[in-house]
Amino acid sequence: KHMADEECDYLFKTVLIGDSAVGKSNLLSRFAKDEFHLDTKPTIGVEFAYRNTKLGDKIIKAQIWDTAGQERYVQINFSSFLSFLHLHILLETTINNIFETDSYRFRAITNSYYRGALGAMLVYDITRNETFENVRKWLQELREFGDPDMVIVLVGNKSDLVDLREVEVEDGQKLAEVEKLCFLETSAKENLNVEDAFLQMITKIYKIAS
Ligand code: GDP
Ligand code: MG
């Protein structure tokens, strides 16, 4: 019998966030299907996957949402730019409307992404310092759009790439301490700590929800 067909006692929505190419989609495919892909296409739109986990005598179904990172901003800004070029000639007053429409669309997408989410996995890439710098930006988005009680797990991914490391383990730990988040380094490629990271999130949500 397939896991996804089983009855469950709890259904938890959780989301993956973080810059593009940090490994969100591969963390998800590793956890949900035990798969890793060397060349993955950037995620377009929103995708999700399920996995059931047994905690004590309860079956928890985690519904994990995955979306593009900064691509989301880039796509929307680029369309603003095109509309701008095109319409600037026609009517200057429409410009404001264009920007409002895009910002409205961005907010609508972002809102529905976070709506009802009980947990978030915030991922950075230990080989790219800028993805770690951007963690603060993602925390701001979480504060603006997410539930204040959301369980947040900070994940430094690609721990297998030791020679390329730019972010030290201690940096991740310190930030997690200050922001009161759980923290782990993972490798979706080598399957290190992936299960643990998701299970920590699910277990913590369960403790709050039950
Ligand atoms: P996303 O944009 O955050 O969803 O990132 P992806 O999951 O698409 O991964 C981006 C790239 O990083 C892909 O080429 C993956 O193969 C690679 N990648 C993801 N996780 C790891 C990892 O743990 N180690 C290594 N070495 N590469 C990884
Ligand atoms: Mg992706």
**Which of 71, 67, 73, 63 has its CA nearest to residue 24?**
67
* Per-residue model confidence as pLDDT tens digits over 7-27: 889 999 999 999 999 999 999
ipTM over 0.95: yes
Confirm if 156 and 186 have CB atoms less than 8 A apart.
Answer: yes
Alpha carbons 62 and 160: distance in angstroms, whole number: 26
**Which of 57, 48, 51, 55 has its CA nearest to residue 5?**
51
71 lines ligand 1 (CB under 6 A): no
Q: End-to-end alpha-carbon separation of the chain, Å?
A: 27
Coil, strand or helix at 122: strand
Alpha carbons 7 and 132: distance in angstroms, whole number: 38
Locate the ligand 1 atom nearest the alpha carbon of residue 18 and give its number. Answer: 3
pLDDT at 1 over 50: no
Strands 58-67, 46-55: pairing kind: antiparallel
Residue where the block lists tokens 């690609």: 158
- CA of 21 from ligand 2 middle (Å) equals 7
The number of the ligand nearest the C-alpha atom of 157 reads: 1
Among 38, 39, 40, 72, say which to mutate for ligand 1: greatest number of ligand atoms within 8 Å of CB: 40
29 lines ligand 1 (CB under 6 A): no
Coil, strand or helix at 159: coil
- CA of 40 from ligand 1 middle (Å) equals 7
Q: How far is CA 152 from CA 24, 58, 84, 102, 167, in A?
A: 15, 22, 38, 28, 20
- Which residues are found with C-beta within 5 Å of the ion, ligand 2? 24-25, 43
158 lines ligand 1 (CB under 6 A): yes
Per-residue pLDDT, 48: 82
The protein residue whose alpha carbon is closest to atom 9 in ligand 1 is: 23
* Per-residue model confidence as pLDDT tens digits over 48-106: 899 999 999 999 999 999 987 555 555 555 656 666 555 555 555 555 555 556 677 67
Alpha carbons 17 and 40: distance in angstroms, whole number: 17
pTM above 0.90, yes or no: no
Alpha carbons 193 and 181: distance in angstroms, whole number: 16
